[in-house]
Amino acid sequence: MNKKFNFFKEAVKNYKTSGTVVPSSKYLANKMLKDIDFSSAKLIVELGPGNGAITHDILKKLSPNTTLICFEVNDAFYEELIKIKHPQLIILKASAENIKEEVVKLGFEKADHIISSLPLTIIPKEISHTILTESFSFLKQNGIFVQYQYSLTYYKKLKEVFGDNITLNFEPFNFPPAFIYKCSKN
């Protein structure tokens, strides 16, 4: 319970970067990860992992040759994430708008999949647009970009980047209930 209370305190204090006051549910994590092919992926990138609620589920599914790189700008969440000791996990205290630049420094050329919990609707439009276009550019062909939001307001913006390659799902057992956008790069 202490971990959830700490998340709540940090999320309320920094709502503009967290976008929520409660961690993602296991139901949301399951729906977000269900179409990810973990068996052949070499690199998975997570944007805005918060306290690691979805990160832990990703780590359980990684194949032995896969690396997970997480981007987190919030100091308290970053400190929580670096406590996760896992040999395939790299935590960066960097903005997701610099995804390509930061990951190339680590020796990777493209991401197989990108999993995002970023609160796109409250991030300034120029920055969120850069995050989406850089993510699309950095994603391998046939890769998947998964994003959840609490409303449908970002569907049009995702469609501008990913075209008609978007499927929508809904998770009622998350608080608040969430829409899951699965965007494929075909």
User: Residues 70-102: pLDDT tens digits?
Assistant: 999 999 999 999 999 999 999 999 999 999 999
| Angle CA 143–55–153, to nearest 5 | 60
The answer to whether 129 and 95 are in contact (CB under 8 A) is no
The answer to whether 171 and 150 are in contact (CB under 8 A) is no
Q: Across the strands, what pairs with 145?
A: 114, 183
**Domains, the chain, ranges and CATH?**
2-184 (3.40.50.150)
**pLDDT score at 24:** 84
Q: How far apart are CA 7 and CA 76, in angstroms?
A: 9
**Measuring CA to CA, how many Å separate 162 from each of 3, 81, 139, 144?**
36, 30, 11, 10
pLDDT tens readout for residues 25-44: 999 999 999 999 999 999 99
Region for 151 from its dihedrals, namely left if φ exceeds 0, alpha if ψ lies in -120 to 50, beta otherwise: beta
pTM of the model: 0.88
Terminus-to-terminus CA distance in the chain, angstroms? 42
Q: 27-59 as b/e, with b when 16 or more CB fall inside 10 Å?
A: ebbebbbeebeeeebebbbbbbbbbbbbbebbb
Q: How far apart are CA 183 and CA 181, in angstroms?
A: 6
pLDDT tens readout for residues 114-129: 999 999 989 999 999 9
pLDDT tens readout for residues 142-176: 999 999 999 998 899 999 999 999 999 999 999 89
pLDDT tens readout for residues 1-22: 455 444 444 444 444 443 444 6
